A = this chain, B = another copy of it.
């Protein structure tokens, strides 16, 4: 269904990040739990600074997930992509980097 974009087509039929799909799912579940924890901190009227510290921790975790996805994208979808798609996919990659840097 999802067409392969990888360099070595036979083994990785899906998206680049599928290799660590389970890991990614686990990490995102944990982040979801952290956000739920922050909501409870607010309900319990915990000290603002402690809430903000937890928000920073969630952001660090999300940045890590995003960096991992970017890396996979670069390796599988850009380098491993068809030659005629590489330019466009690099443009997409750079826009994504710009957004993560909060610059677009």
Q: List A residues at the B interface (Cβ < 8 Å).
A: 1-2, 5, 7, 12, 14-18, 21, 24-25, 28-29, 31-32, 35-36, 38-39, 42-43, 45-49, 51-53, 55-56, 58-60, 62-67, 69-75, 77-79, 83, 86-87, 90, 92-103
Also in contact, A2 and B45, with CB within 8 A (given A67-B94, A83-B7, A90-B71): yes
Q: Are A49 and B94 in contact (CB under 8 A)?
A: no
Whether the Cβ atoms of A52 and B103 lie closer than 8 Å is no
Question: Is the beta-carbon distance between A79 and B78 smaller than 8 angstroms?
Answer: yes
In the complex, the answer to whether B103 meets A63 with C-beta atoms within 8 Å is yes
Q: Which residue of B lies closest to A3 (CB)?
A: B83
